[in-house]
Amino acid sequence: MKIGIFGGSFNPPHKAHFQIAKEILDRGLVDRIIFVPTGNRYNKKDLIPNKYRYEMLKMIAKKEKNISVSNFEQKHQLVFAYQTLDHFQSLFPLDDIYLICGSDNWANFTTWKKYQYILKNYKLIVNKRRPFFFPEELREYEKKITFTDFNYAISSTILREELSRRDDSEILRRHLDKNILKYIRERHLYERKKIQIRRGILKTL
């Protein structure tokens, strides 16, 4: 069996994440995909707590037969990609493990911890976005990399900005699963805090 490990912050997870996963499955590039959200220690901007991102991914994954979610990285202090791949290879020693990533991660892949180890021991599926760049130092591993071109005009950054306004725009309704949008609103995730000054006291709402 071929198992794809789809890592990322998923902050928040949106329809394009799952559409990419389903298209990779439909093309037979892998037989199963496991989403692995990063932990909070990566200190990414506007990163909400682990439990919310994990729960939102599970809400959608449960609808798909060959998609699941693991909180492996969230349960540990700080996990590098090669350690995550090794973990799943140890769980499934007879299967082929693939790393699924996007162009943003591919662009700085040579800065990853033990990136050459990853390329020597695992295969990659990279979803291209325009413009696309192929680092020359990775050319020797080209046969171990499959490129896809599932292009979707949305990103979690755009969605976080829309969510901060507290109004459900057409962009949110189009790109977020309705149950995830409801989950976010009920917990006031990503909303900008209002600052008020009363009687000389700064108060955050």
Report how far residue 57's alpha carbon sits from residue 52's, in angstroms, rounded to the nearest whole number. Answer: 9
**How far apart, in Å, are the Cα atoms of 158 and each of 110, 137, 165, 187, 191?**
26, 32, 12, 19, 13
Judge whether 198 lies within some domain. no
Let me know if residue 84 belongs to a domain: yes
The answer as to whether 174 is a domain residue is: no
Q: Which domain range does residue 68 map to?
A: 2-152
The reported pLDDT for the residue numbered 33 is: 98
63 DSSP assignment: T
Residue 204 inside a domain? The answer is no
Measured distance CA(163)–CA(5) in Å, rounded: 28
pLDDT digits (tens, 9 = 90+) for 54-72: 999 999 898 888 999 999 9
CATH number of the domain within which 103 lies: 3.40.50.620
Contact, 169 vs 162, CB < 8 A? yes
- How many domains does the chain fold into? 1
Cβ atoms of 88 and 5 closer than 8 Å: yes
Q: Is residue 181 part of a domain?
A: no
| Domain assignment present for 179 | no
Is residue 97, in this structure, part of any structural domain at all? yes
In a domain, 38, yes or no: yes
> Which DSSP symbol is given to 94?
T
Kindly give the confidence (pLDDT) of every residue in the chain, 205 residues in length, as a single tens digit, with 9 standing for 90 and above.
999 999 999 999 999 999 999 999 999 999 999 999 999 876 677 899 999 999 999 998 988 889 999 999 999 878 999 999 999 999 999 999 999 998 778 878 999 999 999 999 999 999 887 667 778 888 899 899 999 988 777 888 899 999 998 789 999 999 999 999 999 999 999 987 543 444 454 444 4
Query: Each residue of 97-119: pLDDT tens digit?
Result: 999 998 778 878 999 999 999 99
Q: Using CA atoms, how far apart are residues 77 and 40, in angstroms rounded to an integer?
A: 9
